[in-house]
Every structure is written in structure tokens, then in C-alpha cells.
A and B are shown apart, each in its own frame.
Chain A
Amino acid sequence: MEDKRDKTKHADAEGLSLKSVSLWQITWRRFFKRKSALVGLAILAILVFIALTAQWIAPYDPYKPLIGIEPVQRREKPCIHFLGCPADKPQHLMGIDGNVRDEFSRILYGARLSLIIGLSTVSLAIIIGTVLGAIGGYFGGWLDNIIMRVMDVLLAFPSLILAIAIVSVLGPGLINALIAISIVSIPAYARVMRASVLSIREMDYVSATRALGGSNFQIIFHRILPNALTPLIVQATLGIATAILDAAALSFLGLGAQPPTPEWGSMLGAERNQVFTAPYLVFYPGFMIMLTVLSFNLLGDGLRDALDPRLAHVHG
């Protein structure tokens, strides 16, 4: 990857009319050809927009009950003026929740939380996983053996079960749930990183750096890591999807975000016994979870196919 870029640079310097196309440009072109990836990107863009502007576009406070503010009942049906709800009634697009709060506002704020959850758990898992995988793959030997055996054990648990077990020990709560999900997802990154390191370690430019007296740190972080990023990016994008799904499941079970936090999983969990009388309070949070997870899944698939052209015909 690097030496290709260097070549084109040289070509330009010598005044040859060689139009340089970087690997990233090729990747983006390939990515934009895929409709499903674009759909994912579009959904994600909307979600990010909602998350960033929630405090301005939400019509109500997500925490404050409307008791004494508006004449609404607990779990009242959605009232949409456009669809024939009388204009003198206050508009609530997704109805009123069990604590007399506007469901729509809570849903909007939930986007913020879900994206933060996805990004933070995966970032934590990536940092730890990458370091572990890089150390194991680069140094090999007993260190590698120990690290990978621990990862094997973590992978031997069904991920949600292990996350549940960890949270049950740490105690319920959003932060603990995030820690649990991060721990559970570390092995995936460690494995991906290790595999890349193993193949890159033997490359000529790594040997060259070593011959020039580069330190191990320099080789791992300046030579190997940038070239091992591709599979990590794909894994991370798909990992965010899983993390959001698992976090929502933990919150649904009452082990993650606690009420009154406007988190989709916990909103759904709080109203699950009312599904027969107020299905809209269950439908919207779950639908949003699905949409968010879907966007990251589509994006991840798109990136994988764009970065690894060998697979394009299979998934395309």
C-alpha cells in the first residue's frame, strides 16, 4: 500500500502525467457503487443528525413528566394532527409513556445514547484488543500463547451470557454494561489484529525498518498497524452493530441503562408488559434499535466489499 503511493509520488515529481489514484479513492468509489451501503450511510447520517440536534428538535423534555403541564393520560395513544387527531389536542407523534412523558422526545434522545454506547464500547475493545493482538502476533512464543488462550476462553462463552454474568457481578448500570460488552468483544479484535500482524511481520518493509534500527514500538505502531487497519475498520463497524444490540438487550433485562434514562432498550423493557394495551410504546424503541443496528451492518458489509474486492462478486 505504502510503496505504491511512493511510486506515484515519484512519478509526479519527475513530471510524468500519471494521475494518482490512492487506495482510499478506489475504495470510496467501490463503496458508493453499492446501494445497500449507501442506504446504511444515509440512515446513519440521519441518526447522527438526530443525536446531535436532539435538544433542539425534541418537542418535550425527555425526563420531565407532563403531569400538570398538559391534559394527557398515562400511555395515551399517539396523536398526530396530520392523521386526523383533533387540532386542539397537543400533538404526540409516538404517544405518552408510562410516566406521562412524550415518547417521541425520548426516542430522539435515545439516538444519542445508542451511538455513544456503540462507539465507546467498540473503542475500548479495539484499543485493548489491538494491543493484545499486536503483542501476541509480533512477539509470538509463550506470551502469544497465553493471550490467545485467554481470548479462546472468552470466545467460548455465548457473548450475551458472558456479558450478563459480568454485569451481574459488577452490578447493573449503563457503565458496567458497557464494560461487560467491551470485554466480550475484545477477542474479535485481538484475533483480527494478530492475523494481520502475522502476515505483515514478514513483509520486506518491516525487515527494512528493523535493519535500519527501528524499535519494536516503531515497527508495530508505525509500520504494521497502519497496514492492518483495513480488516479492523470492517470488524469495528460490524462490532458497533453487535454492541448496540447487546447493550439494548442488557438494558431490556434491566441490567444496563436504568430508568429514567431515555435508552431504547430500557424504554422497551419498562413497557414490555403493556405490549397488549400500548404496543406503540414497544414498537418505536425496538424499531429504532433495529434501524441503528441495520445501518452499521449495511455500512460494515459495504466497507468489507469495497476494501476486499475479492468478495465483491459474492455479496454484490
Chain B
Amino acid sequence: MVQYVIRRILATIPVLFGILFVVFMLIRLIPGDPCHAMLGEKATKEVCDRFVREHGLDKPLLTQFGIYINNIAHGKFGDSFRYGIPITRLLIERLPATIELSVSALFVSIIIGIPLGILASIKHNSWIDVLTMMWANIGVSMPVFWLGLMLAYIFAIVLKGTPFWLPPSGRLTVGIDSTPFYEVWGWQLTDGTWKSILYFISNLHILNGLLSANWPLFFDAVKHLILPAAALGTIPLALIARMTRSSMLEVLGQDYIRTARSKGLPRRLVILKHAFRNSLLPLVTVIGLSLGSLLGGAVLTETIFGLSGVGRTLYDAITARDYGIVQAFTVVIAISFVLINLIVDISYAYLDPRIRLD
């Protein structure tokens, strides 16, 4: 197992370099000189000269790439000309919203998708099965941005004045107290890496609400997340339900299931212990694959629901031609995608010994 993990990690390194190279080259391909492309049209001569020196733009391409890698390894993404602050700080501020959104979307799709898939498989060819599959087909074909807007319309306008009303935008209601948990706990912190990390964690509003026992904050954050998570989770949900059903159907036809049934084990035990456990494997892959659509969909969902996450910031940066942010955020999203897939692969090997021994 250890050997497999090491091999897998080593195989990831070239891919990471590839990602960095692609993004590095993309930015170099922007027409016009890189300084004005990165720092905006208004950048002065002195600012440009400094920029060229800092990034080694007067040096050969390979040296530039080295400098670029070195900067990223030190967490230096430069400054955003649009916000006038280091992009790293922007990331720390914006990433939690995206993490909160994608994790809850994935959570929703798993806790609904798996039972739905199991139900459809044990009631094979019944109306539940047909309905689930119809719904899954529609779900896979759903444009996230359309679903999001329609949900916002239904829950914020049509259901206005009912208990089902949900806020159509933002992460929190204006004026709600979101004091970081470490301040509630009375920790005295000096500025630095530790404080940045704690600040990052406290920006996950749901977690912060839990840690500081701030229930109004917790419920408000959850309320704001329901619609975006439902919109973003639809495609993964459909994929998961479909995959659970098909792998369950495959397993349910196996001899050992018949054996388990014929020796008198209760149906529930056979389905959950014998069948479901063995159909888990393909599910792990689907969940890994869904992450790509989650991260891409986050751009759309955050734009619609006015969540200031990584996706929304990326979109704003593209409209404002703030290539510094585009570059940094693309790299961060792609690298997290690769790392998550690495974890998925490793857990796959953990679950299925045949893979790591191959």
C-alpha cells in the first residue's frame, strides 16, 4: 500500500508541472505586452520596469518558468491590480466560500443519490426505478446556471411569505454576527501564518458557527447555502444515483448474494452488507469525476448566487482582464482537482486490494 501511494504521488508530479506550464504559456500567449496585460492599461513605466525585473520577463522563457515555479512554491502570486492586494490574501478570503459550497453540494448529492440508487436497483423495473432513471437523465443534462436561476425564482419570489422562503444571494444576511471562533474563545494572536490559517477556517461560516456556538450564524449560513448547493449538486447527484444503481444491479446478480439470501439472512442485511459494500468501488470513481463538474460549476453557481468565492472572483477577473488572478486561481483550482483525484485514487486502492497489487 505504501509503495502504491508513493508511486501514485510520484506520477502526479509531472502532471502538476504540466498544469503550471500550460497556465504559464496561456498567459504568455495573451496579445500585447505582458506588463499591461497583467497590471492593467494604466500601469506606469516605472511599475512596468519593476514588474519585468521581478518576473524576469527580460530573461529566456525557461528561466521565466523557473522564477514562476519558485514564486508559486513560496505562495507568491503577485498582486491583483484590480483589488490592489496580494492575490494570496484574496485566495484566503475567497476559497472558504467555494469549499463550503462544493462540500455541501457533494454532501447533498451523496446522501440523496446513494439511497435513491439502491432503491432503484432493488425495485428494478418498478415505477420508482423508471422515475429515478428519468430524473437522473434530466439531472445530467441540466445547465447548472439555469437550474440555479429557476430555483432562486421559485424559492425567493414564488414562495415569498411562506416558511419555505430562501435567500437568493449572498453568504450571510447583512448584519449577522460572524466573529471568528478564535476571538470568541479569547485567543490573542499576532499576525502571521497561524492567524491566516485560523482566519481561513473561520471564514467557513458553518464551521465557525459550530465552533463558536453561534447558532444564528450557523443557521443563516445553512439557509444561504441550500439553493446554491442544490443547484450545484444536481449533476453529481444524478451521476451518483445512476452509478449506484448500475453497480448494485451487477452485484445483486452475483452468486454470493443468492447464497446469502438462501441461508436465510435478512434482506436488509444482504442489501447493505453484502451488496452495497461491493458496489462502493465504482462510486468512488464517480465522486472523484464529479469534482471536476463541481469546480467548473462553482464558477456558474457563485456568479448566480452572488457568493464571493473562487469561481465568482475568477469570472470577475476575466471580465476585468485581471490576468494575475486568472492565472493564480486557475492554477489553484487545477492543483486542488489533481490532489483530490490523488486522494480518490488512493482510497480506491485502499478499498480494492486488486488495484494496488496490480
Contact = CB atoms under 8 A, between A and B. Distances in A.
A223 to B, nearest CB: 31
Interface stretch (A162-170, A189-197, A203-211): A162-170
A254 B291 CA distance: 24
A135 interface: no
A272 B141 contact: no
Nearest to A245: B143
B27 interface: yes
Given A286-B143, A290-B143, A290-B146, A272 B304 contact: yes
Number of chain A interface residues as a range: 35 or more
A294 B141 contact: yes
A297 B239 CA distance: 12
Contact of A254 (B23, B304, B319, B337): B319
A156 B146 contact: no
Given A36-B137, A156-B19, A248-B143, A253 B299 contact: yes
A276 interface: yes
Nearest to B142: A290
Contact of B326 (A36, A168, A285): A168
Given A160-B296, A164-B314, A164-B318, A249 B145 contact: yes
A252 interface: yes
Contacts of B22: 153-154, 157
A282 B146 contact: yes
Interface stretch (B111-119, B149-157, B182-190, B214-222): B149-157
Contact of A161 (B14, B29, B142, B330): B330
B198 interface: no
A293 interface: yes
Contacts of A36: 133-134, 137
A253 B300 contact: yes
B334 interface: yes
A279 interface: yes
Contacts of B323: 168
Nearest to B329: A161
By secondary structure, the A interface counts as helix
A153 B153 contact: no
Given A290-B141, A294-B141, A158 B295 contact: yes
Contacts of B14: 149
A132 interface: no
A169 B29 contact: yes
Contact of B146 (A154, A241, A268): A268
A152 B16 CA distance: 10
Interface in B92-142: 133-134, 137-138, 140-142
Given A253-B300, A286-B150, 11 more contacts: A150-B18, A156-B341, A157-B333, A158-B333, A161-B334, A168-B321, A249-B143, A249-B296, A283-B150, A286-B143, A286-B146
Interface of B: 14-15, 18-19, 21-23, 26-27, 29-30, 133-134, 137-138, 140-147, 149-150, 152-153, 156-157, 246, 249-250, 253, 291-293, 295-297, 299-300, 303-304, 314-315, 318-319, 321, 323, 326, 330, 333-334, 337-338, 341
10 contacts: A36-B134, A149-B18, A156-B338, A159-B296, A160-B297, A241-B141, A268-B143, A282-B153, A290-B143, A293-B143
